[in-house]
């Protein structure tokens, strides 16, 4: 009896559900010209794209903001007879699409990729096409914009005679670029060198990179555009291996140069020649390394007006050798992994850190610098018995002066513009920074007239690499 009663009760429920289901599933298709799709962007910017290379896939969303089904009669690319751009609409690849339906208050993705052909010039060429959406007799458009850039591609390249690279063309390096012993590679202002995954620059001879504030020399990974959302590949490390100065290299110099996106940054490895610094850095920015942005081992490095920032193991690692850093900014707000080391790490500077190489202990001076970030500033913190001196610097640590830490500003925030949560890593100083006008002029005979960005240094400069800066506000 119970079983029969249950069946009687269920039957009316099934009839009700069956009656309601068509109303839920069939919302009807709107034919009103006023009902149009909305788009997540009006212009899909694909950035600079190396010619003859396929791009990653870019995307935007198409929304139906209405309570009925929106049927898009056609989707196509206007004036693209060359077939530069490829589309995928809601999972279907092609060049034209018909009767694409979007459920009420739902959306679909449109994916776009391109391979641009080589052109007759190394100047960038802007290319724009329009994706047209015909809906209820009305046409809507989304612009697709890309810049095609020819590059000179180098594979396992060896520079075996003195060579000068101008800025007339960007270069893309695969595997390695090697400067042979006794040979000088000179790189002019504005030159750009892009390195593919696992590529590296190895200097057995001499590297001279002479940029300017208006046209720095750039060495970076070859991936363009954004990783996701608004996060640029410019912020990401591990895109190429980095720069290595081997023991036979001699008297290299980089001015107004940027090295970023590396695994191991710039490494100066056992250049024991004492006739001149193995590497001189002036107004350079070394940033975004998985390991260190600068690692010097038993070598002589001098730097003035430089930024060393953003690395997983800490920006600068010095092991023995002779070093002088003046008006430099050392900082670390690395975002993509745990930070495992201080901004400046020192070793082989006394008996306790002796590596048994038999080489002399470190001699180092840090003057008019800022050493401040989300990790420890300098290790070791006690320099008694060493030939390492920190003079007139601002440091994150709270401490007191002694024979090795001299006239230090302890525990003050330098007030960078950096906002880690917003992916903004700008180490220029706000106008109210305590580092402004605090430099000791007696230690700046080689200080350049301007900082990396071209800001003029006053008679008494700020500590660190940069003078204060106020962002321009758009009217």
Give the tokens for residue 76.
Answer: 């196509």
Closest listed residue to residue 70, CA positions, set 39, 113, 114:
39
Burial of residue 308, with CB atoms counted within 10 A of its CB: 0-12 exposed, 13-18 middle, 19 or more buried: buried
Is the pLDDT score of 446 beyond 70?
no
Is the pLDDT score of 274 beyond 90?
no
Q: Check residue 357 and give left, alpha or beta (phi > 0: left; psi -120 to 50: alpha).
A: alpha
Is the pLDDT score of 18 beyond 60?
no
Is the pLDDT score of 421 beyond 90?
no
Residue 286 has a CB neighbour count (10 Å cut-off) of: 29
**pLDDT for residue 118:** 87
Closest listed residue to residue 310, CA positions, set 337, 343, 326, 333:
333
Average the pLDDT over 112-119 and give the result: 90
**pLDDT for residue 15:** 46
Q: Which residues touch 19 (CB under 8 Å, ≥6 apart)?
A: none
Alpha carbon distance 302, 330 (integer Å): 14
Tokens 């800022």 correspond to: 370
Question: Is the separation of the CB atoms in 250 and 203 below 8 Å?
Answer: no
Average the pLDDT over 94-122 and give the result: 92
Residue 141 has a CB neighbour count (10 Å cut-off) of: 12
Is the pLDDT score of 25 beyond 50?
no
Question: Is the separation of the CB atoms in 87 and 94 below 8 Å?
Answer: yes
Alpha carbon distance 312, 293 (integer Å): 9
**pLDDT for residue 22:** 45
Among 8-12, 117-121, 138-142, the range scoring the smallest mean pLDDT is 8-12
Q: Which residues touch 14 (CB under 8 Å, ≥6 apart)?
A: none
**pLDDT for residue 224:** 74
Q: What are 429's strand-pairing partners?
A: 416, 468
Percent of the chain with pLDDT over 90: 75
Q: What is the pLDDT confidence band of residue 474, given thresholds at 50, 70 and 90?
A: very low
Is the pLDDT score of 5 beyond 50?
no
Q: What is the pLDDT confidence band of residue 141, given thresholds at 50, 70 and 90?
A: very high
> Which has the higher per-residue pLDDT, 99 or 473?
99
**Per residue in 343-360, pLDDT tens?**
999 999 999 999 999 999
In SS3 terms, 53-101 reads as: CCCCCEEEEEECCCCCEEEEEEEEEECCCCCCEEEEECCEEECEEEEEE
Alpha carbon distance 260, 193 (integer Å): 11
**pLDDT for residue 112:** 95
Q: What is the DSSP string of 260-281?
A: EEESS-EEEE-----SS-SEEE
**pLDDT for residue 48:** 86
**Per residue in 213-259, pLDDT tens?**
999 999 999 987 666 666 677 778 899 999 999 999 999 999 999 99
Is the pLDDT score of 419 beyond 90?
no
- Which contacts of 106-111 are long-range, i.e. CB under 8 A and separated by 24 or more positions? 106/63, 106/64, 107/61, 107/62, 107/63, 107/64, 108/61, 108/62, 109/59, 109/60, 109/61, 109/62, 110/59, 110/60, 110/61, 110/62, 110/75, 110/142, 111/57, 111/58, 111/59, 111/87
**Per residue in 174-200, pLDDT tens?**
999 999 999 999 999 999 999 999 999
**Per residue in 47-58, pLDDT tens?**
888 998 888 888
Alpha carbon distance 462, 440 (integer Å): 9
> Which has the higher per-residue pLDDT, 375 or 73?
73
Alpha carbon distance 45, 332 (integer Å): 31
Give the tokens for residue 334.
Answer: 């690395």
Strands 107-114 and 58-63: antiparallel
Residue 344 has a CB neighbour count (10 Å cut-off) of: 26
Q: What is the largest CA-CA distance in the chain?
A: 106
């Amino acid at each position: 009896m119970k079983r029969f009663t249950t069946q009687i009760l269920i039957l009316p429920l099934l009839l009700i559900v069956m009656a309601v289901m068509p109303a839920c599933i069939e919302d009807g298709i709107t034919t009103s010209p006023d009902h149009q799709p909305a788009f997540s962007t009006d212009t899909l910017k694909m950035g600079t794209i190396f010619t003859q290379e396929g791009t990653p896939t870019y995307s935007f969303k198409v929304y139906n903001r209405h309570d009925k089904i929106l049927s898009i009669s056609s989707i196509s690319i206007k004036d693209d007879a060359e077939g530069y751009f490829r589309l995928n609409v809601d999972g279907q690849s092609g060049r034209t699409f018909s009767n694409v339906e979007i459920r009420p208050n739902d959306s679909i993705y449109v994916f776009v990729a391109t391979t641009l052909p080589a052109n007759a010039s190394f100047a960038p060429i802007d290319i724009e096409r329009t994706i047209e959406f015909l809906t209820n007799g009305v046409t809507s458009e989304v612009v697709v914009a890309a810049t095609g850039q020819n590059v000179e591609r180098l594979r396992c390249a060896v520079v075996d005679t003195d060579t000068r690279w101008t800025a007339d063309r960007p270069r893309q390096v695969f595997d390695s670029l090697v400067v042979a012993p006794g040979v000088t590679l000179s790189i002019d202002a504005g030159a750009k060198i892009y390195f593919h995954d696992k590529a590296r620059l190895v200097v057995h001879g001499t590297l001279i990179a002479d940029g300017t504030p208006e046209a720095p020399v750039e060495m970076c990974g070859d991936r363009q555009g954004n990783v996701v959302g608004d996060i640029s590949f410019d912020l990401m490390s591990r895109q190429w291996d980095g720069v290595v100065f081997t023991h036979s290299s001699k008297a290299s110099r980089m001015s107004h140069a940027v090295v970023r996106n590396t695994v191991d940054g710039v490494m100066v490895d056992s250049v024991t020649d004492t006739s001149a610094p193995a590497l001189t850095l002036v107004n350079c920015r070394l940033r975004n390394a998985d390991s260190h942005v600068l690692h010097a081992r038993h070598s002589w490095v001098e730097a003035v007006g430089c930024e060393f920032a953003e690395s997983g193991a800490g920006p600068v690692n010095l092991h023995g050798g002779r070093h002088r850093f003046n008006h430099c900014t050392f900082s670390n707000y690395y975002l993509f992994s745990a930070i495992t080391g201080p901004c400046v790490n020192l070793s082989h500077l006394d008996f306790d850190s002796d590596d048994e190489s038999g080489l002399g202990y470190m001699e180092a001076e840090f003057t008019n610098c800022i050493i401040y970030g989300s990790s420890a500033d300098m290790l070791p913190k006690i320099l008694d018995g060493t030939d390492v001196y920190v003079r007139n610097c601002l440091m994150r640590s709270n401490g007191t002066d002694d024979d090795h830490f001299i006239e230090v500003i302890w525990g003050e925030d330098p007030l960078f513009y950096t906002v880690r949560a917003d992916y903004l890593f700008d180490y220029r100083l706000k106008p109210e920074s305590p580092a402004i006008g605090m430099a000791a002029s007696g230690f700046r005979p080689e200080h350049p007239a301007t900082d990396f960005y071209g800001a003029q240094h006053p008679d008494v400069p700020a500590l660190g690499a940069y003078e204060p800066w106020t962002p321009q506000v758009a009217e």
